[in-house]
Amino acid sequence: MSEIVDLSLGEMLTALHAGDLSSREVTLAFLERIERLDPIIHAFITINPDEALLQADEADKLIQNLRREPGQDLPALTGVPIAVKDVLCVKDMRCTCGSLILENFIPPYNATAVERLREAGVVILGKTNTDEFAMGSSTENSAYGPTHNPWDFDHVPGGSSGGSAAAIVARLTPLALGTDTGGSVRQPASFCGVTGIKPTYGRVSRYGLVAYGSSLDVVGAFGRSAAEIIPLFKVMAGADPLDATTIDLPIPEIDLTRMDSRTGLRNLRIGVPDEYFIEGIQPEVEDRVRLAIDEFETLGAQIKTVNLPYTEQALPAYYIIAPAEASANLARFDGIRYGPRVPADEMWDIFRHTRGDKFGPEVKRRIMLGTYALSAGYYEAYYGQAQKVRTLIKRDFEAAFQKVDVIAAPVAPTTAFHIGEHGDDPLSMYLEDIFTLPANLAGVPGIAFPVGFDDRGLPIGMQLMGPHFREELLFQTAYAYQQVTDWHTRQPKMDHAL
Amino acid sequence: MKLTLEEVEHIAELARLRLSEEEKARYGEQLSDILEYAARLQAVDTSGISPTSSVLPARSVLRSDEPRPGLSLQDALRNAPDTEKDQFRVPPVLE
C-alpha cells in the first residue's frame, strides 16, 4: 500500500471500512506530516491532535461495531480527516478568524456545515489560516503570519482560504473547508493546484460562519479532485432552519459514470466569455485555459462565445457592497462579549481602543470603506448604485445561461504572486479578484481546478461557473477533464523542507 | 476624489476605530484611491434598474413560535473579557 497520506479518498474509505487501516493510523499519519511540514508552510492556525485522535477512536469503534453487526450504513466520511478554515465555528476549538480580536474565542457551538460533517464521521485535524475575517487574496492579512505556497515558499497560496488550499496540495489533509465571498475558495485552489467548489449562494448553511459579506458568503470545500469533493458537498448542502437564506432544493444527482467515456461532455454547451481574456492577463494562464477548453471540445462539448458585458463593473461593485456588509457585520466586535478588551474608563473608548488596536489594517480599511459607502449623503451614489450594477451583473449570467450550460474562464489573471508583492497597495491586490467576483455578485456556483503550470512551475487554474443550484454540471465537467489529464495529481517537491 | 483628514476622522468615529495619525494619513490615501476607482460605477446607466440586495427570491421563512433551549448562560458568557453576577460587565454608562 502506498503511504497513507498519498491515498485517494476512495482508497482511504475502502481501507477504513475494510479494517485494513484504522482512523487513528490515518489521523496520526496526517498529524505527523503537519508536525513536520507546517512549521514551513504555516497552513494551520490551530492544530487539534488530542481531540482529533479521540474523534478517530470514535470512528474506529463505529467501524468495528458495524463489522460485528452489519446491516447498518456507516456515515459517508467515517474516520476521514479534514481541516476547517478558521472562520467556521468548531465547538470548543479556538476560532480566530485570523484576527487578534478573536485570539481567545472558543465557540460554544458547531457551524451547521461542521455539525453535518461530524455527523458524517469526519475527524477534525485543526483550523486553517486565512486572511483576517476572510478579507484578502493572499493569506498575508492573517494576524498569525502568512501561509507559504507549497510549490514555492516565497509565493502566496492565494486567499483568503489559503491555509486550506496549501494544506491539500502539501497533503497535510485529504479534505478541507473554505469560504468564498469574492473568490476565496477558487483563487487559492488555482494558486495551489487543487480543486475547490464554491456552491450556489444559499446551498450551504452559513450558520456558525463568522459573517463577512452576508449576501455573498458561501461555505465551500477543497480536495485533490472534483470527485473527492463531492461527498463533502453532499453532506454540507441543504436547507437549515438556522439560516433562513438556505434553499430547500434537492441536491441534483451527480452522474460521473457517464463522464468516464471519451465523449462524456457530448451535448454540453460551454460558454467562453471574451471579457475574461483581457489585456494584462499572464499569457501562460490564457494559453493553458484555452487548451483546457480545447480538451472539453475533444470530450464532446460544444464551445460557444458568450458575453458578460458588465464583468468589469464587478470589481468596483464588490468593493462597495462587501465592505458595506462587513462594516455592519463587524460592529459586533467591541470588547464586550468576546475577544480581548483594551481597557478604558469609558465604554465608547473600550469600543474605539479595542477595535483600533485589535483589527488589522485591511479590516480597518474595509470597515471604513463600508462605513463611508453607507453614510448619509453617499449611500445612494455608492451603495445604491453598486446594488443596481449587481442586478446588471446577475442579468449577464441569466442571459448567458440561456445559451450555454456552463461558462469556462480563468480564475485569476496571474499565477501565485510573491509574498509582499502587493505591499501596502490594496487596490492592486483587489485587481487579483477580477475574475472571481462576478460569480459571488450573481450567486452562481463555481469550481476551480488545475489545468497546467507556468514556466516557473506554479499552478494555473481555471473555473467553471454554472446556473444557480446546478453544481452537478460543474462537478461532472471537471471530473471528465480530470479523467483525461493529470494536473490534479501533480505534487510540489518540497524536498528542501524535508 | 480625495478624502480630507476631517472626513477620515469622521468615518473612523462612525466605525468606532481609534487610529494613529500615521494610520489616518495612510488610510486616507488608500481609501481615496479605492473610492476613485469605485466612482466608475457612476458612469453605468442604471435608470429603471432595481437594486439587488439578495440573489435569492424574496420570501418569508416562518416557523411556529415554540420555546426551545438556547445557548446556556454559562456558554453565552464564557468568552467575555469581564463578567459579574452572570452578566457582561462594562464601565458605568450613566453617571
Give a yes or no: residue A341 inside a domain.
no
The predicted-structure confidence for A113-170, as pLDDT tens digits, reads as follows 999 999 999 999 999 999 999 999 999 999 999 999 999 999 999 999 999 999 999 9
A365 touches chain B (CB under 8 A): yes
Compare CB distances from B16 to A315, A351, A390 and report the shortest one's residue. A351
Give a yes or no: residue A201 inside a domain.
yes
Give a yes or no: residue A384 inside a domain.
no
> What is the mean predicted confidence (pLDDT) over A398-409?
98
Give a yes or no: residue B24 inside a domain.
yes
Q: Which residues on A lie below 8 Å from B79 (Cβ)?
A: 104-106, 108, 337-339
Residue B31 pLDDT > 80, yes or no?
yes
**How many domains does chain A divide into?**
1
Residue A207 pLDDT > 70, yes or no?
yes
The predicted-structure confidence for A235-244, as pLDDT tens digits, reads as follows 999 999 999 9
Q: How many CB pairs under 8 A join A and B?
A: 165
pLDDT for the residue B37: 95
Q: What confidence tier does A261 reach under pLDDT thresholds 50, 70, 90?
A: confident
Give a yes or no: residue B32 inside a domain.
yes
Closest residue in A to B12 (Cα–Cα): A368
Residue A1 pLDDT > 50, yes or no?
no
Give a yes or no: residue B10 inside a domain.
yes
Q: Which of A371-380, B50-59, B82-91 has the lowest mean pLDDT?
A: B50-59
A340 touches chain B (CB under 8 A): yes
Residue A496 pLDDT > 70, yes or no?
no
Q: Which residues on A lie below 8 Å from B53 (Cβ)?
A: 215, 387
A440 touches chain B (CB under 8 A): no
* Cα separation, A120 vs A105, whole angstroms: 26
Q: For a pLDDT cut of 70, what percent of chain A falls above it?
A: 99
Q: What one-letter code names the amino acid at A375?
A: S
Give a yes or no: residue A368 inside a domain.
no
Closest residue in B to A367 (Cα–Cα): B15
The CATH number linked to B14 is 1.10.20.60
A353 touches chain B (CB under 8 A): yes
Compare CB distances from B44 to A105, A389, A468 and report the shortest one's residue. A389
Strands (E), A117-259: 123-128, 176-179, 195-198, 219-223
Bridge partners of A204?
A: A237
Q: Which residues contact A218 (CB under 8 A, 6 or more apart)?
A: A179, A180, A181, A185, A198, A199, A200, A201, A203, A204, A206, A440
A371 touches chain B (CB under 8 A): yes
pLDDT for the residue A498: 62
Compare CB distances from B91 to A215, A319, A346 and report the shortest one's residue. A346
pLDDT for the residue A2: 65
The predicted-structure confidence for A353-366, as pLDDT tens digits, reads as follows 999 999 999 999 99
Q: Which residues on B lie below 8 Å from A316 (Cβ)?
A: 37-41
* Minimal CA separation from B6 to chain A, in Å: 13
Q: What confidence tier does B94 reach under pLDDT thresholds 50, 70, 90?
A: confident
B63 touches chain A (CB under 8 A): yes
> What is the mean predicted confidence (pLDDT) over B14-38?
97
Q: Could you tell me which of A452, A498, A444, A439 has the C-alpha nearest to residue A471?
A: A444
Contact by Cβ (8 Å): A320, A386: yes
The CATH number linked to A209 is 3.90.1300.10
Compare CB distances from A385 to B33, B42, B82 and report the shortest one's residue. B42
Task: Check residue A416 and report its DSSP letter.
Answer: P
Contact by Cβ (8 Å): A123, A143: no
Give a yes or no: residue B13 inside a domain.
yes
* Minimal CA separation from A179 to chain B, in Å: 18
Sheet of A176-179: strands edge to edge? A44-47, A123-128, A81-85, A176-179, A219-223, A195-198, A446-453, A459-465, A406-410, A269-273, A302-306
Give pTM, 2 decimals: 0.97
Q: Which residues on A lie below 8 Å from B17 (Cβ)?
A: 352, 355-356, 359, 364, 367-368
Contact by Cβ (8 Å): A286, A277: yes
B30 touches chain A (CB under 8 A): yes
pLDDT for the residue A69: 83
Average pLDDT, chain A: 96
Give a yes or no: residue B56 inside a domain.
no
Compare CB distances from A341 to B26, B72, B81 and report the shortest one's residue. B81
Residue A497 pLDDT > 80, yes or no?
no
Question: What domain range is B19 assigned to?
Answer: 5-42
Other CB atoms within 10 Å distance of the CB of residue A450 = 29
Q: Which residues of A175-184 are buried (b: 16+ CB within 10 A; e: fewer)?
A: bbbbbbbbbb
Contact by Cβ (8 Å): A432, A412: yes
Other CB atoms within 10 Å distance of the CB of residue B76 = 16
B41 contacts A215? CB cut-off 8 A: no
Give a yes or no: residue A371 inside a domain.
no
Give a yes or no: residue A12 inside a domain.
yes
* Minimal CA separation from B84 to chain A, in Å: 12
> What is the mean predicted confidence (pLDDT) over A9-36?
97
- ipTM metric: 0.96
Give a yes or no: residue A440 inside a domain.
yes
Question: What domain range is A226 assigned to?
Answer: 4-249+261-266+417-497
B28 touches chain A (CB under 8 A): no
pLDDT for the residue B57: 84
Compare CB distances from A313 to B12, B41, B52 and report the shortest one's residue. B41
Give a yes or no: residue A287 inside a domain.
no
Closest residue in B to A203 (Cα–Cα): B56
Residue B1 pLDDT > 80, yes or no?
no
B 76-95: CB under 8 A from A: 76, 78-82, 88, 90-91, 93
* Minimal CA separation from B1 to chain A, in Å: 13
B40 contacts A313? CB cut-off 8 A: yes
Q: In angstroms, what CA-CA distances link A72 with A13, A62, A77, B14? A: 16, 11, 15, 58
Catalytic residues of A: 85, 160, 184
Q: Which residues on A lie below 8 Å from B23 (Cβ)?
A: 361, 364
**How many domains does chain B divide into?**
1
Q: Which residues on B lie below 8 Å from A426 (Cβ)?
A: 30, 33-34
B68 touches chain A (CB under 8 A): no
